[in-house]
Amino acid sequence: MSKPVILGTGSCLPERVLANTDLEKMVDTSDEWIASRTGIRERRIAGNNQKTSMIAAEAGRQAMKMAGLSVFDLDVIMVATISSEMTMPSCACLVQKELGAVNAYAFDLNAACSGFLYSLDLADKFVRADPTKKILVIGAETLSSRTNWQDRNTCVLFGDGAGACVVGAADNEQNGILCSKLFSDGSLWELLSMNAAPSMNPYLDNGGLEGPVDFSRLGSQTESEGSCIHMVGKDVFKYAVRAMEDAIDTVLTESHISLHDLKLLIPHQANIRILNNLAERLDIDREKIYINVQKYGNTSAASIPIALDEANREGRLQQGDLLLMCAFGGGFTWGAMVMSWQ
């Protein structure tokens, strides 16, 4: 039986570049600190006319074009995001409207930086259940809208962008998604979080239904405290390395593939030191790890599909090549997937 494969990839990066030297003028930081601690040199920032759904739709359009499919062929659109411009409707429904994909149903998936792998895992299951289905999987973020630009601990890390792929059944039996493993641990949520705005009913928060109601609490949550990314960087760093290493070991063991047989490893792009650490622990040739964090920073759910599209367009993936992708993000969520490129 043929397996699900990636039929096409696409990406969309806003043109506006925010360099480390620009950040030096905004917060107490330096190009040297950011580059040496994170590997990031610059990131992209979406303009007012580049909402999450718009860059998501453009990435999707490109993936469809590469796959040689029409938007009418799409059965499902999934968008992995934590920074859609609206809570309702979903970003995926806005993408559907933008593309005119009238035969698809659409929904979002929130698994933070692991969102693309979670969505791809779901697409894999859809296509295994019905090989005629064509699924558009997008990871898209405009985290610049959810960043506290006065907090140097976080504002230097994130960027905007979108990446996409189309999943369908392979035309042969050898290639396709071989194994996927996903994990989460909600008990560690406080180490990496972002409130909705506001996420708690301030009346109930003040003593419950029985207690006195303090109206002064309404609106007291500032933008910076309330709805921006909060992270305990050092702890996240440690968990990220160990969790991705474990997930990689698990998928390789279950699929009986040796690390040395991999052609390419595309990890979530959060920090070059995390990737160097991972490379050391795995004892994998660094040339096999795709890295673009220096150009885009951490684009959360978009980072893997952007890197995948770049690697694909650079010709780094040929038929039969073994590709491994791994992610780690808020939740905590993490996972890994291995596939044989079609």
Q: How far is the CB of 192 from ligand UT7 (least distance, A)?
A: 6
Q: At what angle do helices 31-38 and 272-282 cross, to 10 degrees?
A: 30
Comparing CB distances to ligand UT7, the nearer of 192 and 302 is: 192
Q: Does 329 bind ligand UT7 (CB under 6 A)?
A: yes
Looking at the Cβ atoms of 89 and 233, the one nearer to ligand UT7 is 233
38 near ligand UT7, rule: CB under 6 A: yes
Residue 153 in contact with ligand UT7, rule: CB under 6 A:
yes
Using the contact rule CB under 6 A, the part of the chain among 11-19, 33-41, 72-80, 218-226 near ligand UT7 is 33-41
Q: Give yes or no for residue 237 binding ligand UT7 (CB under 6 A).
A: yes
Is residue 12 near ligand UT7 by the rule CB under 6 A? no
Residue of 116, 118, 296, 328 interacting with ligand UT7 (CB under 6 A): 328
The structure tokens 């998936």 sit at 109
Terminal Cα-to-Cα distance of the chain (whole angstroms): 15
Ramachandran class of 26: left when φ > 0, alpha when ψ lies in -120 to 50, beta otherwise:
alpha
* DSSP secondary structure letter of residue 288: G
DSSP secondary-structure letter at 150? T
Give the span between the Cα atoms of 48 and 228, in whole angstroms: 18
Q: What is the smallest separation between the CB atom of 28 and ligand UT7, expressed in angstroms?
A: 6
Query: In terms of CB distance, is 226 or 233 closer to ligand UT7?
Result: 233
Of 101, 114, 90, 166, residue with least CA distance to 302: 114
> Near ligand UT7 by CB under 6 A, which window of 45-53, 64-72, 76-84, 235-243?
235-243
Based on the shown chain and the rule CB under 6 A, indicate whether residue 236 belongs to the binding site for ligand UT7.
yes
Decide whether 168 or 330 has the Cβ nearer to ligand UT7. Answer: 330
State the maximum Cα–Cα separation within the chain, in Å, rounded to a whole number.
66
Question: Is position 307 an interface residue for ligand UT7 (rule: CB under 6 A)?
Answer: no
Q: How far apart are CA 278 and CA 308, in angstroms?
A: 19
H or E stretch at 80: strand 76-80
Across 186-211, b (16+ Cβ under 10 Å) vs e yields eeeeebbebeeeeeeebbeeeeeeee
Count CB-CB contacts under 10 A for residue 152: 16
Tokens of 281: 């622990």
- Angle, alpha carbons 182-185-187 (nearest 5°): 170
Q: How far is the CB of 170 from ligand UT7 (least distance, A)?
A: 31
Mask 118-147, x = binds ligand UT7 (CB under 6 A)? ------------------------------
CB of 26 or CB of 213, closer to ligand UT7: 26
Q: Which of 271, 277, 299, 333: binder of ligand UT7 (CB under 6 A)?
A: 271
Point out which residues bind ligand UT7 (CB under 6 A): 29, 33-34, 37-38, 113, 152-153, 156, 192, 233-234, 236-237, 240, 270-271, 274, 298, 328-329
